Amino acid sequence: MINKIKNLIKRAIITNTGNDDGNFPVSQIQYFGKSGDAEMIWPYGFGALPPNGAVCLVFSVNGDESNRVAIATLPESRPKNLKPGECYMSNLTTGDIIIMREEGIEITSTKPITINAPSVIVNGNVQLGGSGGAPIARVGDSVLVGGTPGTITSGSLNQTAT
């Protein structure tokens, strides 16, 4: 009975990132010189397929050593020096990260960011290409071109800026 209690929770390493085609991803883990499969579980709304070498806490469901679930992390990949209450989501493979900071949400990506929505509404100032960029004129705005005043009468449906 004491061994069952001692083995309810243990630390393990993922040795073979597994299969992600079921309700829970299953990976091979190693702990105390033993190896076996464990289902990876996450809080509602989150999910991942942790890479080999990730550290995990393994729980033996109902004290059954063959019924394992694990929560994994890769501590060296997490952002450091978060303030109390700040949280993040990251992808070690791509280097992408979303940090919910005290000052606002910070998104870093090495690839294009895709938003699939019927429309996108931005309330507030928008800086394209970083701070200090050139002003952007909209259809209907008054402009001065070479000293001659005018009005923007048409524009592109696809806006780009650098």
Short-list 93, 24, 13, CA closest to 57: 13
Q: Which fold, 2-75?
A: OB fold (Dihydrolipoamide Acetyltransferase, E2P) (2.40.50)
Per-residue pLDDT of the chain (162 residues; tens, 9 = 90+): 777 777 789 999 999 998 888 888 899 999 989 999 999 998 877 888 888 999 999 998 888 888 989 888 887 777 888 898 888 888 877 889 999 999 999 999 988 889 998 888 888 777 777 776 777 777 888 988 899 999 988 877 666 544
Q: With a threshold of 0.85, does the pTM exceed it?
A: no
The ranges assigned to domains in the chain are: 2-75, 78-108
CB environment 55-79: b (16+ within 10 A), e (fewer)? bbebbbeeeeeeebbbebebeeeee
